Amino acid sequence: MAERTGGADRRTVLKTLGTAALVTTVGGGALAQSLPAASQGARSPESPRIRELFNFGWSFQDGDIAEGKNPDFDDSGWRRLDLPHDFQIEQPWDKTANRARGFKTLGTGWYRKTFKADGNWKGKQVLLDFEGIMVSGDVFLNGKKVGGTAYGYLGFESDISDVIRYDGDNVVAVRASTGGNSRWYTGGGLFRDVHLVVRNPVAIARHGVFVTTPVITADSAQVAVQVEVGGLKGKTDAVEIYTKIISPQGKLVGETRGFVPLPRNNLPTVETPLPNLAIAQPQLWSIETPNLYTAEVELIADGKIIDRLTKRFGIRTIEFSKEFGFKLNGKKIFLQGIANHHDLGAVGAAAYRTSIARQMDTLKAFGFNHIRTSHNPYSESFLDLADEKGLLIVDELYDKWGSTRAWSGSAPWNDIWFDNLKEWIKRDRNHPSVILWSFGNELQFEQERWNWPTGDWGQTTYRIMDVVAKRYDPTRKTTVGMYPARAKGIIKANPAFTVKENIVPPELATITDIASFNYVWDDYQEYLKHAPDMIIYQSEAVTNELAAPYFGMDREKMVGLAYWGAIEYWGESDGWPKKGWAYSFFNHALEPFPQAWLTKSIFTNEPVVHIGVVDNEGESKMWNDVMVGQKVISSHWNRQDGKTYNLYTYTNAEEVELLVNGKSIGVQTNDMNVRKRNTIYWKDVPYAPGKITAVARTAGKVVARHEMETTGKAVALTIEAENPAWKADGLDLQYVKVYAVDAKGRRVPTTPGEVTFKVSGSARLIAVDNGNHWSDDLFAGNRKVLHNGFAMAVLRSGRSPGIVKIEITGTGLKGGIKTFQVK
C-alpha cells in the first residue's frame, strides 16, 4: 500500500505469488513516473483485446426458416439491415392477437451475417457477445450451434474459436423467437448490440472487473478493485494485474497492482482483490454532478500486456434506513420515479442509445430522478446513460419466479435463475446509478402459483437469491415488488381485504431489505404497526390518483415512489384499438399530456401552473386490483362558441386566479388534502375566443403564469430537431418533430391532414410517428397522419460524415426543408 509522506512515495513491493499484494501508489502528477521500469517497458499502443461492434451488415427474414442456420443457404432475397432491430414492431397490428403482447402475432425471425476472420486471431479466443435476443434465441456459426439464451433480457458470449474458418467466409445465423408467456410487449430479435471479441487465452473474465468505494470522506475515498481472470486453469504462470484510476477530467489519480495468487485450485477463473488505493478530494457521483471515474485494468505476463479493459464507476455512498428512507452521499433523497416496460415508442424494443437518452432527458426536465426497470434488466446503454445523466435506478431481474405463469423464458425458471442472477449482478454492479436490486414483481399473493414450492409465500426463495446476489455484490440491498395484497394472500376481491385486522403486510415484504409495495400507499402506516422495521418504497404508484401517492407517503422516512406507466408503452392494452398502456403522463412519442405538469409541480421547487381542459371524462376500471384510468385532457383554447368547459390548473403555488380575456373567473386556493393537492378543478368555465390565463400566487406574489390563446387556421408546418450533435456512427438518431402552425407561428393541435417526409444524404428514415396509441398505422414508410397537430420522423445516421436534408410536405399546409450535418 502506497502512502504519501512528506512529499515522497513510500512503497512496499511483495513479489510472492501466493498473495495478491504488490504495490499501490497514490498521488498527483508524479504518478506516471512512479511506475516500475519493467511495467513502463511493457506498455504498448496496440490493444491486446479487440472489441468490435458487430451491428452492421446483417440480413433478416421473418418466419421460421428450416435451413436458416446452414452456411450455404441462399439469403440473397432477405432484407438487409443494421442492428439494433425489433422485428415485432414492424408486424401488422392484429386485432385477434394477444392484447397483452401489443396485438402482435408471436413468431420467429432469422438473422444472418457473413464475415472473414483475420489470420492474426489464430491461437486466441474469438467470441461473439450478444447483449440479448428477444425473447429467446439460438446462435449458429457455419451451421454449428455455438450459443443462445433462454431469457433474452440478459446477454451471453459464444466462444467460436474452434468453429471459425480462416480460409473462407464465416456465416453467423441467429434464430429469434417471440414465444413465451410474457404479460407485455417484448419486441423480437437482435434488439441490442452485438460485439465480436478477440482476446488472449489468459484474459479478464466476462464482467470480471468489480470496483467499489468502501470508505468515502470529503478529503479521500478508498477504491477497491477486484479482477477476475480466466484461462489459468491448471496453470501456474505469473500474471500481474495493474490498474490505474482516471479522473472525470482524464487525469491519472491512482494506481494499484498485484499478482493472481497461487494455488489456483484448478478453477476456470480466479478472483483477485487488489490492494485498496486512495483518491484525494474525490468528485462524488450525484444526481446533480454525475462524475464518473475510469478504472483501466491490464494483465501483464512475461513483461507483455496480454489484456486491457476499462470500466467506469462512480464514487458515492448509498444508505437506507427506516428513519430517513434513502440517502445519497449523506443527503436525503426521495425517489421521484417511473416504472415502465423497456420499449421506446416507434422503434419498439430496439435499444437505441438516442431513444433512451431523450426519454431520460424528458423525465429529468419534469423533475423525475428515478427509474425502476420493470420487470427485467434493461440494456447496458440504458445504465451507461443513467450514470451520465444522474438518474437513480432500481434494477429488476424478473416479473415472476417459476415457470407455470407469466414466464417469458424458453427454459424452466428453476433451471436458469442462478445463472441469470449471476450474469445480471456482475454486468450491472459497477454502475453508480444502480442503488437497489429487485428480484421480481407481484408474486407473493398465491402460495404455490409459481411452481417453486417453499410454502412460505416466497420468503425462502428470496433468501436464497439474496445470498447469491450478495456473493457477487455485497454493497447493495435487495427487494421484491409486492402485489397489492395482504398477508396470507388476501386480495382486493376478497371481502376480508378491508377488515382492519387483515391490513397486515405480505409475509415476504417483512423480510426483504427494502419493503417494495405496488400501490396501497394509504395502508403503509397500518403496515408499520405490524412490521415497524420495514423501509418502504412504493414500487408502483397509479397515475389515476395523480399526486396522492406522493403526498400520501411519509416522505421524510420512506424511500420514494415510481409511477406505473408514466410513459405510454406497447402491450397490456385493455382493449382494441388501444395498442398498449395509455394511462400516462407522456404519450409514446414523449409529447407531455397536461398531467405531466402536475408531476413537475410536485417533483420540483420551480413555481408551476398549467391549464388542462377536460375533453371527456375518459375511463376508469379495475386492473390488477387497482383502479386505473385517465381523463382526456388537452392544453389548447380552440373550442366551441357558447359552450362551457371543465378544466384543471396544476400548480404548487398557494392559489390560482383564472381569467378569460382578462376577466377573472375567480381565485381558488391549493387544497392541501393529499388527494386534491396541486390539482385545482374549475367547473363550467365559459368559452370565448381569445386568451385564457392562469396566474399562480404564493404569499400574494405572482410566481407563475400559463396562458393559452385561440389560434387561427393552420397554414404551415414547423420543423424542430432534437439532436444538435448528430454523430456519423451509423447508430445515432435524429428525432424531427413537426407541428401545424397558424400565420403567427402558434401551434394548432386541432389540425387534420397527412405529412410526407423525404430524406436524402447521409441518413435514412427508419420510423414515422404521431403519438397516437390507438392508430392502426405502422411506423414504416414516409407518411403519417397528424395527431393533435403533430407528427415526427426518426432518422438514423450513416457511417460517413455528410449533409442530410429532410423535406416535409403536408395536406393544405406550407411545408419546409431542414438540413443537418452529421459528424
**Chain segment 119-159, per-residue pLDDT in tens:** 999 999 999 999 999 999 999 999 999 999 999 999 999 99
Q: Which range, of 5-19, 298-312, 669-683, averages the lowest pLDDT? A: 5-19
Q: What is the pTM of this model?
A: 0.95
Identify the helix (H) or strand (E) that includes residue 295.
strand 293-301
The residues, ordered by sequence, that sit 6+ positions from 51 with a Cβ below 8 Å of its Cβ are: 129, 195, 196, 197
Work out the burial of residue 384: count CB atoms within 10 Å of its CB; fewer than 13 is exposed, 13-18 middle, 19 or more buried.
Answer: middle
Spell out the SS3 assignment of 733-790: EEEEEEEEECCCCCECCCCCCEEEEEEEECEEEEEEECCCCCCCCCCCCCEEECECCE
Length of the chain: 823
Query: Please, what's the largest Cα pairwise distance for the chain?
Result: 91
The residues, ordered by sequence, that sit 6+ positions from 474 with a Cβ below 8 Å of its Cβ are: none
Residue 451, SS3 per DSSP: coil
Residue 510, SS3 per DSSP: helix
How many contiguous H segments (helices) and E segments (strands) does the chain have?
8, 50
Q: 99 and 167 in contact (C-beta within 8 Å)?
A: no
pLDDT at residue 510 is higher than 90? yes
Short-list 345, 385, 774, 399, CA closest to 567: 345
Short-list 294, 322, 320, 318, CA closest to 308: 294
Work out the burial of residue 647: count CB atoms within 10 Å of its CB; fewer than 13 is exposed, 13-18 middle, 19 or more buried.
Answer: buried
Q: What is the mean pLDDT of residues 755-760?
A: 98
Cβ atoms within 10 Å of 177's Cβ, excluding its own:
20
Using one digit for the tens of pLDDT, what is the confidence trace for 350-391?
999 999 999 999 999 999 999 999 999 999 999 999 999 999
How far apart are alpha carbons 452 and 462 in whole angstroms?
A: 11
Cβ atoms within 10 Å of 175's Cβ, excluding its own:
20
Q: At what angle do helices 413-428 and 459-472 cross, to 10 degrees?
A: 40
The residues, ordered by sequence, that sit 6+ positions from 661 with a Cβ below 8 Å of its Cβ are: 688, 690, 691, 692
The residues pairing with 394 across neighbouring beta strands, listed in sequence order, are 372, 436
Choice between 15 and 744, residue whose per-residue pLDDT is larger: 744
Residue 802, SS3 per DSSP: strand
pLDDT at residue 26 is higher than 80? no
Q: What is the pLDDT of residue 474?
A: 98
Q: 618 and 630 in contact (C-beta within 8 Å)?
A: yes
Q: What is the pLDDT of residue 759?
A: 98
Using one digit for the tens of pLDDT, what is the confidence trace for 538-593?
999 999 999 999 999 999 999 999 999 999 999 999 999 999 999 999 999 999 99
Using one digit for the tens of pLDDT, what is the confidence trace for 706-739?
999 999 999 999 999 999 999 999 999 999 999 9
Round the CA-based radius of gyration of the chain to a whole number and report it: 28
DSSP symbol at 157: E
Question: How would you classify residue 669: left for phi > 0, otherwise alpha for psi between -120 and 50, otherwise beta?
Answer: beta
pLDDT at residue 34 is higher than 60? no
C-alpha cell at 421: 442472477
Position 31 confidence tier, pLDDT thresholds 50, 70, 90 = very low
C-alpha cell at 698: 404564493
Short-list 787, 819, 789, CA closest to 803: 819
Cβ atoms within 10 Å of 639's Cβ, excluding its own:
18
Q: 770 and 790 in contact (C-beta within 8 Å)?
A: yes
How far apart are alpha carbons 222 and 212 in whole angstroms?
A: 8
Residue 624, SS3 per DSSP: coil
Cβ atoms within 10 Å of 128's Cβ, excluding its own:
22
How far apart are alpha carbons 61 and 67 in whole angstroms?
A: 12
Cβ atoms within 10 Å of 729's Cβ, excluding its own:
13
Q: At what angle do helices 353-365 and 380-389 cross, to 10 degrees?
A: 40
Pairing between β-strand 220-230 and β-strand 269-273 as defined by DSSP bridges? antiparallel
What b/e string do you get for 744-754 counting C-beta neighbours within 10 Å, with b at 16 or more?
Answer: eebbbbbbeee
Work out the burial of residue 391: count CB atoms within 10 Å of its CB; fewer than 13 is exposed, 13-18 middle, 19 or more buried.
Answer: buried
Q: Is the dihedral of CA 118, 120, 126, 130 positive or negative?
A: negative
Question: How would you classify residue 224: left for phi > 0, otherwise alpha for psi between -120 and 50, otherwise beta?
Answer: beta
Instruction: Tell me the pLDDT of the chain averaged across its residues.
Output: 93
C-alpha cell at 762: 447521409
Following DSSP, what letter does each residue of 552-580 receive, concatenated?
TS-TTTS-EEEEETSB-EEB--SSTT--E
Q: Count the alpha carbons within 13 Å of 157 in the hemisphere toward its beta carbon.
A: 18
pLDDT at residue 626 is higher than 90? no
Question: How would you classify residue 257: left for phi > 0, otherwise alpha for psi between -120 and 50, otherwise beta?
Answer: beta
Using one digit for the tens of pLDDT, what is the confidence trace for 789-804?
999 999 999 999 999 9
What b/e string do you get for 38-62 counting C-beta neighbours within 10 Å, with b at 16 or more?
Answer: ebeebeeeeebbeeeebbeebbbbb
As a whole-number percent, the residues of the chain with pLDDT over 90 amount to 89
Work out the burial of residue 691: count CB atoms within 10 Å of its CB; fewer than 13 is exposed, 13-18 middle, 19 or more buried.
Answer: middle
Using one digit for the tens of pLDDT, what is the confidence trace for 668-688?
999 999 999 999 999 999 999
Q: What is the mean pLDDT of residues 525-529?
A: 98
The residues pairing with 655 across neighbouring beta strands, listed in sequence order, are 669, 697
What's the distance, CA 158 to chain centroid?
25
Strand order in the sheet with 58-62: 79-81, 58-62, 108-116, 169-177, 136-141, 144-149
How far apart are alpha carbons 541 and 543 in whole angstroms?
A: 6
Short-list 192, 126, 112, 114, CA closest to 158: 126
Using one digit for the tens of pLDDT, what is the confidence trace for 425-484?
999 999 999 999 999 999 887 765 667 788 899 999 999 999 999 999 999 999 999 999
